[in-house]
């Protein structure tokens, strides 16, 4: 009995390693394995399904954001607008957001993190296209260039992402969760997070890099837990029940908690800075953090060739640059428009701008009593 008890942990360890070896499938280069070949499609069917889910999910999110934006504009035109959360149009946009996020959640369960996370650029480019069609916004040359770069980067990402298929079971997650790579990574992440949180709370440091770094550190835990939860649910649906393991609920709690605090810090960033600044920086930080998490926790680049990694990173760079070009100076164009336009009112003639010049020193300021008195005296002298 003692001998059996002593060998039980060794048997469990060997069983986990055997399961990991079965879960990992490496594809060596061979004839017909080039990009877009029939062998390439057969080899990457499950990954392409995850890519399709992620792209469709991000496009649905783009539609939902534009619907919510249109509902705010529609309510602003009414004389007595009702609260936006009572608008059917706004609620339908929120529902579409939930549908899109569900698609992303399912994509993480069937494809690597390093393949799904960078596809968030499709949400930004898709939103730019939809806003041009439905909200009649201007299509700029930088938008076209940014979309082209984002699509080119996505093509490289899909073709040169890690060629690895891994079934995420509870025993696999447990094995990775206590691995030294993840333990070192999470200790360093907690230290950096606590240092940044100290400067943010105690020193009042609200720089965008500090806020979005906090978001990115939480996002790394989010994508790890999302893939674990989604993978275990997917495996349970296929007949191998994983929901009875404690690690499933541990990952579920980590996923919910990290999402809540991630949204908190992201909202603070959007309150202090414009969306044209927050969106590209957050996309770069989030994607980088997710890729690092996938490499360390799930070892998704294990055995990858240097050229494959280089082209993959170049695809990430193109998508980052595309997002930056699409979001660049978009809000400044709206500020250049006149605040009120009397040109379409019969019998009225617009003689000058109603809104002060945004480049002037007096824009957005209220003159004091002395200035108003001097202004009135000056008007009397002129008259």
Checking if the pLDDT of 268 tops 80, the result is yes
Full-model pTM: 0.73
Residue 84 CB neighbours (<10 A): 15
In a domain, 123, yes or no: yes
Most confident range (mean pLDDT) of 199-208, 324-333, 354-363 is 199-208
Say if 23 falls within a structural domain.
Answer: no
List pLDDT tens digits, range 116-168.
999 988 888 888 888 887 777 788 888 899 999 999 999 998 888 876 777 78
Same domain, 106 and 190: no
The domain boundary residue, chosen from 117, 134, 164? 164
Mean pLDDT, to the nearest integer, of 367-373?
47
Instruction: Identify which of 123, 107, 6, 10 has the alpha carbon closest to the alpha carbon of residue 58.
Output: 123
The pLDDT of residue 158 is 85
Whether residue 189 sits in one domain with residue 71: no
The residue ranking higher by pLDDT, 363 or 271, is: 271
Whether residue 263 is contained in a domain is answered as yes
Whether the CA torsion 27, 28, 32, 36 is positive or negative: it is: positive
DSSP bridge partners of 164:
26
| Closest by Cα among 245, 249, 211, 157 to 219 | 211
**pLDDT at position 267 over 50:** yes
Same-domain pairing of 281 and 226: yes
Q: Do 251 and 158 belong to one domain? A: no
Q: Say if residue 74 is in the same domain as residue 182.
A: no
* pLDDT recorded at residue 272: 86
Q: How many CB atoms lie within 10 A of CB 88?
A: 8
Residues 135 and 87 placed together within one structural domain of the fold: yes
Q: 223 and 283 share a domain?
A: yes
Domain presence at residue 236: yes
In the prediction, which pLDDT does 78 show? Answer: 77
Give the residue numbers spanning the domain of 75. Answer: 41-164
Other CB atoms closer than 10 Å to residue 288's CB: what's the count?
A: 17
More confident residue, 337 or 174: 174
Instruction: State whether 173 and 246 are in the same domain.
Output: yes
- Select the more confidently predicted residue: 25 or 242: 242
Let me know whether 291 and 176 are in one domain. Answer: yes
Rounded (5°) CA angle 244-254-183: 95
Q: Estimate the crossing angle of helix 180-201 against helix 275-297, to 10 degrees.
A: 150
Residues 294 and 171 in one domain: yes
Confidence band (pLDDT; 50, 70, 90) for 89? confident
Mind listing the pLDDT tens digit for each residue in 281-333?
999 999 999 999 999 999 888 888 889 899 999 999 999 999 999 888 765 55
pLDDT above 70 covers a percentage of the chain that reads: 73
Residue 234 covered by a domain: yes
Q: Is residue 255 part of a domain?
A: yes
Q: What is the pLDDT of residue 161?
A: 83
One domain for residues 194 and 249: yes
pLDDT for position 318: 94
Residue that terminates a domain, selected from 164, 190, 221: 164
State which of 25-29, 36-40, 348-352 shows the largest mean pLDDT.
36-40
Q: Where does a domain end: 114, 136, 164?
A: 164
Q: Is the dihedral of CA 318, 319, 320, 322 positive or negative?
A: positive
- Quote the number of domains for the chain: 2
Predicted local confidence at residue 42, as pLDDT = 61
- Classify residue 8: in a domain, yes or no: no
**Cα–Cα distance between 7 and 4 in angstroms, integer?**
5
Say how far residue 38 (Cα) sits from the centre of its chain.
32
Does 65 map to a domain?
yes
More confident residue, 21 or 114: 114
203 and 291 together in one domain = yes
Asked whether 293 and 113 are in contact (CB, 8 A), the reply is yes
User: Greater confidence, 173 or 19?
Assistant: 173
| Span 230-254, pLDDT tens digits | 999 988 988 888 999 999 999 999 9
């Amino acid at each position: 009995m003692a001998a059996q008890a002593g060998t039980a942990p060794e048997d469990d360890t060997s069983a986990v390693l055997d399961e990991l070896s079965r879960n990992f499938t490496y594809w060596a280069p061979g004839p017909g394995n080039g990009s877009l070949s029939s062998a390439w499609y057969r080899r990457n069917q499950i990954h392409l399904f995850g890519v399709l889910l992620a792209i469709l999910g991000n496009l649905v999110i783009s539609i939902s954001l534009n619907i919510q934006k249109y509902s705010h504009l529609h309510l602003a035109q009414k004389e007595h607008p009702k609260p936006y959360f009572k608008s059917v149009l706004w609620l339908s946009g929120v529902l579409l957001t939930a549908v899109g996020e569900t698609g992303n959640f399912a994509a993480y369960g069937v494809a690597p993190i390093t393949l799904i996370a960078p596809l968030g650029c499709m949400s930004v480019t898709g939103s730019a296209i939809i806003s041009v069609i439905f909200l009649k916004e201007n299509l700029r040359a930088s938008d076209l260039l940014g979309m082209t770069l984002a699509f080119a980067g996505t093509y490289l990402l899909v073709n040169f992402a890690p060629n690895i298929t891994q079934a995420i079971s509870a025993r696999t997650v447990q094995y990775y969760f206590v691995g030294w790579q993840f333990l070192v990574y999470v200790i360093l992440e907690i230290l950096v997070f606590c240092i940044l949180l100290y400067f943010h709370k105690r020193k009042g440091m609200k720089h965008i890099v500090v806020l979005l770094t906090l978001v990115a550190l939480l996002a790394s835990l989010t994508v790890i837990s999302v893939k674990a939860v989604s993978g275990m649910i997917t495996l349970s649906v296929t007949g191998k029940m994983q929901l009875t393991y404690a690690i499933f609920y541990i990952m579920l709690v980590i996923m919910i908690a990290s999402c809540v605090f991630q949204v908190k810090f992201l909202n603070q960033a959007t309150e202090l800075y414009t969306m044209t600044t927050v969106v590209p920086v957050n996309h770069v930080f989030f994607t980088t953090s997710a890729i690092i998490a996938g490499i360390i926790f799930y070892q998704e680049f294990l055995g990858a060739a240097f050229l494959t990694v280089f082209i993959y990173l170049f695809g990430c760079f193109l998508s980052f640059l595309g997002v930056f070009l699409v979001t660049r100076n978009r809000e400044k164009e709206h500020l250049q428009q006149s605040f009120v336009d009397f040109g379409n009112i019969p019998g009225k003639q617009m003689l000058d701008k109603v809104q002060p010049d945004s480049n002037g020193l007096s824009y957005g300021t209220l003159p004091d009593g002395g200035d108003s008195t001097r202004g009135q005296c000056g008007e009397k002298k002129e008259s």
